[in-house]
Amino acid sequence: MRVLYVEDNEQDADLTCRRLARLAPDIAIETVHTLADARERLAAQELAGTLPDVLLVDMRLPDGNGLELLGEVRQRGLGVAVVMLTGSGDEALVVTALRSGADDYVVKAGSYIERLPATLADVVETFREASVHRSTPILVLYAEPSASDVDLLQRHLARYAPHVQVEAVSSAQEALARLPPEVESGPDVLLLDFKLPGMNALDVVREVRHERHLNVPIIVITGHGDETSAAQTLKLGATDYLVKQDDLLHRLPVAIENAWYRAQLERERGALRESEERFRQMAESIGDVFYLSDPKRRLALYVSPAFERIFRMPVSAVYADWRAWLAHVHEDDRETVRQHMDRLHQGELEVEFRVCPPGGETRFVVMRVYVVRDGAGRDVRRAGVIQDITERKAQDARIEHLAYHDSLTGLPNRTMLMDRLGQALSQAQRLDQQLAVLFIDLDRFKLVNDSLGHHVGDQLLQEIARRLRTTLRDADTVARVGGDEFQVVVANVGGPTGAARIAEKLMRALGEPFTLEGQELHVTASLGLSLFPRDGDSGALLLKYADIALYEAKGEGRNAYRFFSPEMNAQAHGRLRLENDLRRAVERHELELHYQPQLDLATGEVCAVEALVRWRHPVRGLVLPNAFIPMAEETGLVLGIGEWVLNEACRQVAQWQREGVADGLRVAVNISARQLQRAGLDTAVRRALSLSGLPAPCLELEITESSVMLDPLHAQSVLQSLRELGVLLSIDDFGTGYSSLAYLKRLPLDRLKIDRSFIGGIPTDSDDAAIVETIIVMTHKLGLRVIAEGVETLEQRLQLVNQGCDEMQGFLLAHPVPAEELPPLLERLKEAAAAARPAGPA
């Protein structure tokens, strides 16, 4: 857009130019300071064919008045839009300027410069559209008996309004004969002299309007200025009348254009009323806002009732001010919406923004605006739809939150953690900083979850998440990545020392007691740490190494933290290979059972054997249970291994009984926590007994007290089902868990096995001796037998005999031996028992 700016105040001119350069860089502005300079510049531009699009003229100039320049531009017919600049209080001058042909005016007050680009754009567009209208031919049928009057009018129009084309007839009958039944195919305007041969203009208007019902515009020219005749003409339906005065030729082109425009407008209005009625019926039946506006007159033509529900303001306010709704647009969105609306010229607009209605909650809406054009391509209407998308936005936000956050704790999930870890690594590399990754696993969380219920477990996890967030900085990321597993990314950490301080801080925070539903809970955690760049430069690698370090921390007694080291990585790879080998151990027949005898201390005879699994690895050789059973528990492989041990022990002992090796020998088989928790243990035991033929009383199932206490009610139900099969039941490793004899009395048990950690302390440790003696006495009170494991010395055996222990097991009696070595071992033990008996009377 090219602008010629006429302003005598150089400071105002400089300020306006600089602000416009920033607000609207597409405006090329040239400044002159006097009326004379403006005339000279316009003359040069007209000669060169480079007239500006708009002339911005200050009303008061040092050598004249801006109105003078306006009059000259309009008199010369220059194709330039004119905008007048005036100070406040010059309303009379403004009216004069508009009557003299100014396209618009701007008052120098407030933020007028910010509004200037939009004003100039509207003025130029309106001026160009008016120019298009002036070039559109208007066909006039002129009934005038005076040929000289016709000739005078045609010559005047040819010079000053060439787009108005006149066809002349000399009588009313000829004029009526040339009017077709449809207005669209006839003249645009009917021009009648009042006195016509045969019939006057009143008769013509009556026939056109009331008999033929045609809406063609009719202008009547009278020579006498008879007000009565004029009133009758207008009453019958004439569009306008003119009195034959000296300025008739100057007024007539304007009257013809106005009549034509009014007719066009009325036809458009009729079509619009019809379409608006259909539009209104549709719009009022749905929840979206529909509206129709006139951008030229800046009016709202229709707004559907849904508007009041979204904006909480009456529709009447928008009819009074078509942009009143902008006041309820969120202040951060308002200017963007305003600019979009101001710059809408073609095509369509779609903009999303927030509405803040008074006394209501913020709503999210999307507005689509469509430009409606007439047949000539002119922008005549704006149609819009405003849709309330608040619920959709909330749903999208919920979906996005769920995609990147843990639903229970609200912490980031693994997906978001990886994204933030990637960002943190990029920053650490760029700033040459260190970064720590921590893997946190709660110790014995399953015990809390199973014993107190999942709802308490969920509350505990939420409280733990809260403590982790409050302990760490806002810049750090803490995520929940599993049931009771959390991962933390700490940026700009001060090396291993800083990371260690953070780990200790987190452990202290989690070590404080939690109070949930009136119960005080104590939780500890194990942590694994890895560092960038010391341990790796990728997120996946750092997480893997932190996991390895965590495994090491848990293996060393829990409630501890460990840093990753290359040795740990090697061990982890070794564990992984061992796990893969273990998965195939059963199908490759690499597992075998060793048997350790149990001695009845009263008779000195072997009463049972315990079946102990061993793994004959093709490379590692014989692998003891403590090297692979924990891994089997973690991976779930213990279920398959446990079932194999049960079947094999029953088969082997039943075979020995049939061969007469050990009549009535009882075999003890360990049942893992996973086997006890999994449904169908009683079915597996029944099948093992059936397939082997082993009598049920010859099978004893050993269950650790800690596995019973994971879910006491479930354990009680399972043990009762096993007891109904006729098998014997015992508690293994008694004294190391959290149970009590008061609870154990509810279980259908036969034996308690005292853990080796207590046996090793007798007879030298008085505390261990007292504990063992107490367990024996109380167990006997419950009607159960007691067996001590881990007996390695004769002194321990004698102490147990003195305290009333029923059975023993340990290296003092025998080491576990393969199946083929057990029969000769049993024979030797039998002979030794016989030799130790005192001789009978001679």
Ordered DSSP codes for 316-381: HHHHH-TTGGGGGB-HHHHHHHHHHHHT--SSEEEEEEEE--TTS--EEEEEEEEEEE-TT--EEE
Phi/psi for 620 (5° steps) reads -80, -15
The answer to whether residue 234 scores a pLDDT higher than 90 is: no
Could you tell me which of 638, 624, 689, 695 has the C-alpha nearest to residue 665?
695
- 8 A C-beta contact, residue 595 and residue 813: no
Distance CA 26, CA 235 (A): 52
Q: Which of these three, 506, 530, 564, is where a domain ends?
A: 564
Q: Which of these three, 394, 428, 449, is where a domain ends?
A: 394
Note the pLDDT of residue 669: 97
In a domain, 760, yes or no: yes
Distance CA 808, CA 595 (A): 14
Note the pLDDT of residue 346: 58
Which DSSP string do the residues of 246-271 spell out, in sequence order? TTHHHHHHHHHHHHHHHHHHHHHHHH
**Are residue 240 and residue 155 in the same domain, yes or no?**
yes
Note the pLDDT of residue 276: 66
CATH number at residue 57: 3.40.50.2300
Distance CA 646, CA 654 (A): 12
Q: Look at the block and give the residue holding tokens 């933020």.
A: 111
In a domain, 240, yes or no: yes
Distance CA 378, CA 544 (A): 67
Number of domains in the chain: 5
**Are residue 441 and residue 362 in the same domain, yes or no?**
no
In a domain, 571, yes or no: no
Note the pLDDT of residue 596: 96
**Are residue 129 and residue 157 in the same domain, yes or no?**
no
Cα dihedral 47/50/53/57 (nearest 10) = -50
Where is pLDDT greater, at 531 or 571? Answer: 531
Q: How large is the average pLDDT for residues 373-385?
A: 80
Could you tell me which of 439, 431, 422, 412 has the C-alpha nearest to residue 537?
422
| Position 815, amino acid | H
Q: How many residues does the chain have?
A: 842
Please report which confidence band the pLDDT of residue 694 belongs to, taking 50, 70 and 90 as the band edges: very high
Q: pTM for the whole thing?
A: 0.45
As a whole number, the mean pLDDT across the chain is 87
Q: Kind of pairing, strands 605-617 and 54-58?
A: unpaired
Distance CA 599, CA 806 (A): 9
Phi/psi for 441 (5° steps) reads -130, 130
Summarised one tens digit per residue, pLDDT across range 319-341 is: 999 889 998 999 999 998 888 88
SS3 assignment, position 34:
coil
CATH number at residue 465: 3.30.70.270
* DSSP H or E segment with residue 703: strand 699-704
In a domain, 569, yes or no: no
Could you tell me which of 166, 157, 233 has the C-alpha nearest to residue 194?
233
**Are residue 590 and residue 536 in the same domain, yes or no?**
no
% residues pLDDT > 70 (the chain): 93
Sign of CA dihedral 681, 687, 688, 693: positive
Distance CA 293, CA 300 (A): 4
In a domain, 599, yes or no: yes
**Are residue 631 and residue 735 in the same domain, yes or no?**
yes
Contacts of 564 (CB under 8 A, 6+ apart): 528, 529, 530, 531, 535, 545, 546, 548, 549
Q: Which of these three, 501, 534, 564, is where a domain ends?
A: 564
Note the pLDDT of residue 139: 92
Summarised one tens digit per residue, pLDDT across range 402-427 is: 888 888 999 999 999 999 999 999 99
Which DSSP string do the residues of 758-826 spell out, in sequence order? HHTTTTT-HHHHHHHHHHHHHHHHTT-EEEEE---SHHHHHHHHHHT--EEESTTT---EEGGGHHHHH
The answer to whether residue 24 scores a pLDDT higher than 50 is: yes
Note the pLDDT of residue 394: 85
Instruction: Determine if residue 810 is left, alpha or beta; phi over 0 gives left, psi from -120 to 50 gives alpha, anything else beta.
Output: left
Summarised one tens digit per residue, pLDDT across range 283-320 is: 667 778 888 888 888 898 888 888 888 898 998 998 99
Q: How large is the average pLDDT for residues 267-289?
A: 74
The answer to whether residue 741 scores a pLDDT higher than 80 is: no
Supply the range of the domain harboring residue 123. Answer: 2-133
Q: How large is the average pLDDT for residues 549-553?
A: 87
- Tokens standing for residue 554: 């848990």
CATH number at residue 312: 3.30.450.20
In a domain, 273, yes or no: no
Angle between helices 766-781 and 794-803 (to 10 degrees): 40
| Residue 25: Cβ within 10 Å count | 9
Q: Which of 246-255, 654-663, 709-718 has the lowest mean pLDDT?
A: 246-255
The answer to whether residue 435 scores a pLDDT higher than 50 is: yes
**Are residue 460 and residue 592 in the same domain, yes or no?**
no
Please report which confidence band the pLDDT of residue 702 belongs to, taking 50, 70 and 90 as the band edges: very high
Rounded to whole angstroms, what are the CA distances from 221 to 94, 172, 233, 240, 830?
33, 13, 10, 9, 147
**Are residue 149 and residue 248 in the same domain, yes or no?**
yes
Q: Which of 341-350, 674-683, 726-735 has the lowest mean pLDDT?
A: 341-350
Summarised one tens digit per residue, pLDDT across range 659-691 is: 988 888 999 999 998 899 888 999 999 999 999
Which DSSP string do the residues of 72-94 spell out, in sequence order? HHHHTT---EEEEEE-TT-HHHH
Which DSSP string do the residues of 233-244 spell out, in sequence order? HHHHT-SEEEE-
Q: How large is the average pLDDT for residues 345-367?
A: 85
**Are residue 555 and residue 678 in the same domain, yes or no?**
no
**Are residue 680 and residue 829 in the same domain, yes or no?**
yes
Identify the bridge partners of residue 190 per DSSP, sorted by sequence position.
Answer: 141, 218
CATH number at residue 769: 3.20.20.450
Please report which confidence band the pLDDT of residue 658 belongs to, taking 50, 70 and 90 as the band edges: very high
**Are residue 334 and residue 223 in the same domain, yes or no?**
no
Summarised one tens digit per residue, pLDDT across range 593-638 is: 999 999 999 999 999 999 999 999 998 899 888 888 888 887 888 9
In a domain, 219, yes or no: yes
- 8 A C-beta contact, residue 412 and residue 520: no
Contacts of 504 (CB under 8 A, 6+ apart): 561
The answer to whether residue 93 scores a pLDDT higher than 90 is: no
The answer to whether residue 455 scores a pLDDT higher than 90 is: no
Note the pLDDT of residue 347: 64
SS3 assignment, position 276:
helix
Omega within 30 of 0 (cis) for the link into 533? yes
Distance CA 277, CA 705 (A): 82
Note the pLDDT of residue 842: 44
**Are residue 349 and residue 423 in the same domain, yes or no?**
no
Q: How large is the average pLDDT for residues 3-10?
A: 91
Summarised one tens digit per residue, pLDDT across range 766-777 is: 888 888 999 999
Note the pLDDT of residue 340: 83
The answer to whether residue 716 scores a pLDDT higher than 70 is: yes
Could you tell me which of 405, 387, 545, 518 has the C-alpha nearest to residue 459?
518
Cα dihedral 484/487/493/498 (nearest 10) = 20
Distance CA 85, CA 105 (A): 6
In a domain, 841, yes or no: no
**Are residue 426 and residue 498 in the same domain, yes or no?**
yes
Where is pLDDT greater, at 657 or 841? Answer: 657
